[in-house]
Amino acid sequence: MRGPLLLLAAIAVVSFAGPPLGAALGIDLNAVDLVDRLAGPSLMHPLGTDELGRDVLMRLLAGGRVSLTIGIAAALAAAAFGTLAGLVAGYLGGWTDRVMMRLTDGIIALPLLPLLIVLAALDLRKLGVPAVLAQSDDINLIRIVVLAVLVSWTTAARLVRGATLVTRNRDFVRAATSLGAGIPHILWTHILPNVLAPLIVATTLSVGDVILLESVLSFLGLGIQPPLASWGTMLSNAQELITSAPFLALYPGAMIFLTVIAANLFGDALQQRFDRRAAAHD
Amino acid sequence: MIRFTAIRLVEIAAVVVLMSFVIYALIGLMPGDPIDLMRQADPRMSAADVARLKAVYGVDQPLFARYLAWAGQALSGDLGYSRLFAAPVWSALLPRLANSLLLMGSSFVLALALALGLGTAAARRPHSRFDAAINLFSFAGVSMPTFWLALMLILIFAAGLGWLPASGIATAGMSNLGDRLAHLVLPVATLTLASVGGYTRYVRAAMKEALAQDHIRTARAKGASEARIILHHALRSAMIPVTTILALSFGGLVSGALVTETMFAYPGMGKLIFDAVMGNDYNLALAALLLATVTTLLANLAADLAYGWLDPRVTYR
Amino acid sequence: MRLINVFRYTGTWRGWWRRWLPALTVAGLLSAPAMGEERESLTIGITQFPSTLNPNIDAMAAKSYVLGMALRPFTVYDADWRLVCLLCVTLPSIENGLAVPVDLADGKKGIDITYTIRPEATWGDGVPVTTADVLFTYEVGRHPESAIGNAELYRRITGIDVKDDKTFTLHVDKLTFDYAAINDFVLLPAHIERAAFKEPAQYRVRTRYNADPTNPGLYNGPYRVSEVVAGSHILFEPNPHWAGPPGHFKRITVRAIENTAALEANLLSGTIDMVAGELGLSLDEALAFEKRHGEGFQMIFKPGLVFEHIDLNLERPALADRRVRQALIMGLDREAISTSLFAGRQKVADSFVNPLDAGYSAGTPRYHYDPARAAALLDEAGWRAQGGGLRRNAQGDTLLLELMTTAGNRTRELVEQVLQSQWRKIGVDIRIKNEPARVLFGETVPHRQFDMAMYAWISAPEDVPRSTLYSSEIPDASNGFAGQNASGFKSPEMDRLIDALEIELDPMKRKTLWAAVQKLYATELPSLPLYFRSDTFILPKWLKGVGPTGNQYPSTLWITDWTAQP
């Protein structure tokens, strides 16, 4: 468990610290150099240059920042939203539960593509989003995070609902109710800690899924727009150059692979840890 | 249980109706329509042409009116014509559906078989090196973008070694089984490798839990053979997560795999849905998407019913 | 479980081999090309599958490529960009008397043009091509509900006189210099399609080109369609009733593979023999391919008529000033882009007229890379550089422009980033905002919600720029946002030149008019010219005779010239 966690932390630290460091050293991420394209590794460019002469290492780190931000933000937001929905549905039961379950079924079947195109085309200013935000470079990031959350909140909701159903019948919850505790208090203090374990595992696993989703969106042309780099766009762009400059595909591909597999292994190790603890308690 | 099923079927119908409107609205909310795209490609089209074509294809009507017209037709069994294929929706849909069922079905069966084998083997040797290796292998497959996996396979086996064809469903003019099988190998391999990891983990976890149960110990003490223990006792408990997997993947049988189909130029449902949506072909997109929705919902219902049969402790409210 | 048992069961090395031999043999046999018949069949890879095969509905590059082998149009522009007769015997002209200008009732000039169908032209089922087909096609083209895409041609023809089975005269209501070009008048077989046209509104659905595409009677060219697998491939075989010189190949397969990386892999693995230039790799992809695998193939680069440019929205305050527009183009090192990204194969354009075009004028003002002059122009226009490199005007606004193009198009994205970096150097801040094609062309460009939009105009030889530069073609509510003059260029002089150009029959006088048009365009710069896209044809070494045209008429129209050298 320590292994994957350390790897993840290392990737995160380097990705977030790298670009500011590079900027301080004077390496411009976006400096196009048409003369020095597709160069191999050198002292100036440790990983070589890409098809526009930009430093691959810096773009890789900046791309990591974007991909990791999207992954973590989407995973946390989906977990929060899903937990709320799952707690409410699981605890209240009855019609609330039925509606919630059918709603999640519907969302699972919802087509991603028209949703994303509509999101890409909406004029956010008409929706009341302040102009500064709507025109900033980060709006693309936010769009993708919103889409990822819409797609993955249902897993967390289902998990939490299931665990809530089991927990709410337990004695200590009944005791709390009979003592007059309000619903929010019960949800927060009694039920939530008991559903946390599978939730944490699912959230960790979904980080990897979101990073992969981002790369598929770039493949379809609906992802992060230039000049912002992400591992997904770097990988997609490197497809055509696969025979002439394979290293351009190797680095982002390897980073995606390492990050996702580290997240997955970490989540798996967490799950085993929780299972052992649960087994010990029962 | 009958009551349960009946209520669920009604709920499914309600969801389908709601989804049909949501999908129609989403496609309609997408800016631009195919006449505009046509105009971009053909500079000779005049404003009068554009207006005329919009009237011919009916895209100048308001969205809700078009939806009601479609719904009315659909309820009477007529799913309309596909603008992209210029053919009735069913005749455009069926061959692609068959292709997808073949592709997705084969890879699903193969992945499940592998997962059952690997997962059980890993569960029987917990915390061993074999277990760790299986774990790593299962995560490797799901940690790579599918288009990447597909491209690697094409480059190695088709371009590099030349063993297999790189795309399509058949060589033109040939209709024998061997040719079609050869064309299926790489796409099926891609999909299998991408999904076997997830299935293996499910099976392994369930088998581990099942093998630790008391009745397994009793059976062993009674002298039952290893094979009987696995196949008869433990597998029954493992069927619950397998049923979950089945239910989750069933929708995929119909909705296809867009990325794999694009990379291998395999004409399946995934590409059909993508093209229909991007091309504003309402009739085709709705028919395909609703088919996928209904399949997913029915599969979920079947899974819920199966849980009841597999585990008598589960009750229905 | 079963897999592990299999291996345990076979045990020995020999056993393993026996188990796998059949599978390996099958795989080997299937992939090895059959030696004797390789050169009689050809597999072509393209990046799009034609949605319908009816020649007159839904114009698509993939469809005209594929139909080039199977249907003969009357007239086309050949590889030298000259108008030639394919289905007709002689190209009508005023000089040879087959075209006669007439005075119309409202004082305008029209023209009567006489064509004779080739006597040997026959449909694939043996029925000869006659004027009955001409009349039927005309009827379909004129009908408002038949979903014909480009009805302009049929609108212009006010009537047809039939002299006999093969000769007919068109009465056209406008005398334009390209009067003999009826390229879009592709004949439909009356004897088959009439039944489908019984209910005109249903024609696009009932047309036999979709319902029964392998019917030989639908095709009158050297090949006919013998198999269609929607979304995957189309198979062509020789048309038995074709009376002209036969094509070399007995089987031609056209395969659609949308992903270009997969297309390249297919080429390398031999699944396809060639990649069509009209619908293949983009130039930078082709150059990368050439570097690695060029020796195994013939690579032909043909400059074409697709004009990559940046539309400038003249209503934006910054862009309304001509000095700013000129500064923008002078701040670009287009030569460097052409040399480094495109290995010099996509030459810098000065205007939308291609240097190979008859109307090209070498005297068009040419802008060279001159950042100093660009900076001076910007200062003059009131945009002064502050500390930090950005420019502000007197009101304190920064010079910030949004550059848009089609998302997912890697070449354009690359070029955009180069442009952004170059413009930053002269103090113009650029924000890149890409949208999917359907959003860009469906909403943003027609509604003119952009600052700068980079995309391509597709044109034909000597194509008069009415829809793109005429003042009445600015997309707005009055024309249903259907005009293509997205920059909003309003110039009475340009309007006058366009009107004069269309009806000028004297080639020398036309050249003068064309020169004036280009000079006006280059001076006013409603859009920034970038380059003309080149098509790359990647052919196997043994394929000879392929003649790329560089215009929208595909090389497959001359498929009978293609041969395989052993």
Do B42 and C54 lie within an 8 Å CB cutoff?
no
Give yes or no for residue C250 having a pLDDT over 70.
yes
DSSP H/E element including B309: helix B282-310
Q: Minimal CA–CA distance to C315: which of C477, C526, C530, C528?
A: C526
Q: What number is the ipTM of this complex?
A: 0.80
Q: What pLDDT was estimated at residue C16? A: 41
Is 90 exceeded by the pLDDT of residue C308?
A: yes
Confidence of residue A136 (pLDDT cuts 50, 70, 90): low
Alpha carbon of A279 to those of A272, B127, B218, B233, B236: distances in Å?
Answer: 10, 16, 20, 22, 22
Q: What's the full length of chain A, in residues?
A: 282
Pick from A37, A220, A239: CB nearest C340: A37
Residue C33 above 60 pLDDT? no
**Residues B77-92 pLDDT 10s:** 888 888 777 788 988 8
How far is it between the farthest Cα atoms of chain B?
86
Report the amino acid identity of residue C341. Answer: L
Nearest residue on chain B to A279, alpha-carbon basis:
B209
Q: How large is the average pLDDT for residues A214-234?
A: 83
pLDDT of residue B311: 66
pLDDT tens, position by position, B86-124: 788 988 899 899 999 999 999 999 998 998 888 888 887
CB contact under 8 A, C432 and A34: no
* Mean pLDDT score, A200-218: 85
**In terms of DSSP H, where are the helices of B60-128?**
63-75, 89-124
CA-based end-to-end distance of chain A: 24
Contact B33, B59 (CB under 8 A): yes
User: Which residue's entry shows tokens 């795999």?
Assistant: B257
pTM of the model: 0.82
Task: Look at A243 and C407 and tell me if their CB atoms are within 8 Å.
Answer: no
Helix (H, G, I), strand (E, B) or coil at C95: coil
What would the mean pLDDT of A62-85 be, rounded to a whole number?
90
Distance from CA of A174 to the nearest CA of B (A): 21
Measured N-to-C along each axis, helices A94-109 and B2-29 cross at an angle, to the nearest 10 degrees, of 50
DSSP state of C397: -
Q: Is the peptide bond before A227 cis (omega within 30 degrees of 0)?
A: yes
Average pLDDT, stretch A102-130? 66
| Low-confidence spans in chain B with pLDDT less than 50 | 317
- In this complex, is the C-beta atom of A115 within 8 Å of any C-beta atom belonging to chain B? yes
Residue C428 tokens, joined: 């113009």
Question: In degrees, to the nearest 5, what angle opens at C-alpha B144 toward C-alphas B140 and B148?
Answer: 130
What's the distance, Cα to Cα, between the start and end of chain B in Å?
9
- pLDDT per residue as tens digits for the range C144-171: 888 887 778 888 899 999 999 999 999 9
Across all residues in chain C, what is the average pLDDT? 87
Give the per-residue pLDDT at C21. Answer: 43
3-state secondary structure labels for all residues of C245-302: CCCCCCEEEEEECCCHHHHHHHHHHCCCCEECCCCCCCHHHHHHHHHHHHHHEEEEEE
DSSP state of C559: G
Q: Is A169 on the interface with C (CB under 8 A)?
A: no
Give the closest of A31, A51, A240 to C261, CB-based: A240
Which residue of chain C comes nearest to A218, CA vs CA? C408
Q: What stretch of H or E contains B82?
A: strand B81-82
Average pLDDT of A182-209? 80
Higher pLDDT residue, C433 or A227?
C433
Q: What is the rounded average pLDDT of the residues C121-126?
A: 92
Cα–Cα distance between C257 and B27 in angstroms, integer?
26
| Residue C556 scores a pLDDT above 90 | yes
Rounded CA-CA distance C350/B187 in Å is 47
Q: Give contacts of B23 with chain A, Cβ < 8 Å.
A: 110-111, 114
Q: What is the pLDDT of residue A279?
A: 62
Give A76 to chain B, closest Cα distance, Å: 20
DSSP string computed for B166-219: -SSSS-TT---HHHHHHHHHHHHHHHHHHHHHHHHHHHHHHHHHHHTSHHHHHH
CB contact under 8 A, A114 and B277: yes
Residue B98, min C-alpha distance to chain C (Å): 13
Model confidence at C15, pLDDT cuts 50, 70, 90, reads very low
The tokens 């969302």 sit on which residue?
A: A107
Going by C-beta distance under 8 Å and a sequence separation of 6 or more, which residues neighbour residue C401?
C316, C318, C319, C428, C429, C430, C431, C451, C452
The answer, yes or no, to whether residue C115 has pLDDT greater than 70, is yes
**Alpha-carbon separation of residue C536 from A52, C63, C303, C410, C511 (angstroms):** 22, 19, 9, 17, 30
3-state secondary structure C501-555: HHHCCCHHHHHHHHHHHHHHHHHHCCEEEEEEEEEEEEEECCEECCCCCCCCCCH
C432 chain-A contacts, CB cut-off 8 A: 225-227
CB contact under 8 A, B154 and C231: no
pLDDT value, residue C23? 45
Distance CA C270, CA C272 (A): 5
Query: How many Å apart are CA C88 and CA C166, to the nearest integer?
Result: 9
In terms of DSSP bridges, do strands B87-88 and B81-82 run parallel, antiparallel, or are they unpaired? antiparallel
What is the predicted pLDDT for the residue at A123?
A: 55
Which one of A52, A137, A242 has the shortest CB-CB distance to C414? Answer: A52
CB contact under 8 A, C231 and B272: yes
Name the pLDDT band for A124 (thresholds 50, 70, 90): low
What percentage of chain B's residues is helix, strand, coil (to nearest 5)? Answer: 75, 0, 20
Contact (CB, 8 A) for C531 and C335: no
Distance CA(C341)–CA(C413), nearest Å, equals 12
Best of B7, B20, B143, B202 to substitute, by most chain A Cβ atoms within 10 angstroms, is B143
Q: Residue C125: what pLDDT?
A: 92
Structure tokens at A85: 């929905």
What was the pLDDT predicted at C73?
92
Q: Phi and psi at residue C359, in whole multiples of 5°?
A: -90, 0
Percent of chain C with pLDDT over 70: 93
d(CA A12, CA A71): 11
* pLDDT recorded at residue B314: 59
In this prediction, residue C42 carries a pLDDT of: 94
Of A110-119, A248-257, B132-141, the one with minimum mean pLDDT is A110-119
The pLDDT score that the predictor gives to residue C298 is 93
Which of C542, C486, C456, C53 has the alpha carbon at shortest distance from C282?
C456
Q: d(Cα A250, Cα A189) in Å, to the nearest integer? A: 47
